[in-house]
Amino acid sequence: ADEENPVFGTARVVDYLSEVPELAAQARDLIDGGVNALVARQSADGGWGGDGTVEPSVEETAVVVIALCKAARQGSDVPKDVVRRGLRWLLNATDGGRQFSPRPIGLYFARLWYFEVMYPEIWCLEALKRGELFWADGAG
């Protein structure tokens, strides 16, 4: 199996760069490139997996939705339907936010895959809140 997770890594970088307005202004091209890469890797069902061809997970989908919503707040052109489909996927995958099953998201030292029981819950809740703000801001 492939040992890379460009979706998760790209989402975390876009998230970080979009966090601070001054940094976002300086990193506009990087953020927009990341947004475009994430949009292109969304699966047909609305979720995201490790590289766009892997089965979507709550973890990857949530961190991508978070990153896209933060990038939109900093002025990036994020397609509304992409966020909508990601949020819908999260709600369906978690039975409306009631069931969470953690999945591995990356390699730790010694090439061991890692996961955390709370990641899907924490990131899904943040994604839903960011999605709410995305629509409230008029972006959606």
Per-residue pLDDT tens, the chain, 140 aa: give them: 456 778 989 999 999 999 999 999 999 999 999 999 999 999 999 999 987 788 999 999 999 999 999 999 999 999 999 999 999 999 999 998 888 887 776 655 455 556 677 888 888 999 999 999 888 876 65
Nearest to 139 by CA among 66, 62, 79: 79
Distant-in-sequence, close-in-space partners of 10: CB < 8 Å, separation ≥ 6: 34, 37, 38, 67
What pTM value is reported for the model? 0.87
Q: What is the pLDDT of residue 113?
A: 58
130 CB neighbour count, 10 Å cutoff: 21
Nearest to 123 by CA among 85, 50, 80, 66: 66
106 touches 66 (CB < 8 A): no
The domains found in the chain, sorted by start residue, are 6-136 (1.50.10.20)
Q: What is the pLDDT of residue 12?
A: 94
Q: What is the pLDDT of residue 111?
A: 55
26 CB neighbour count, 10 Å cutoff: 12
Distance between CA atoms of 107 and 81, rounded to whole angstroms?
31
Distance between CA atoms of 66 and 68, rounded to whole angstroms?
6
114 touches 59 (CB < 8 A): no
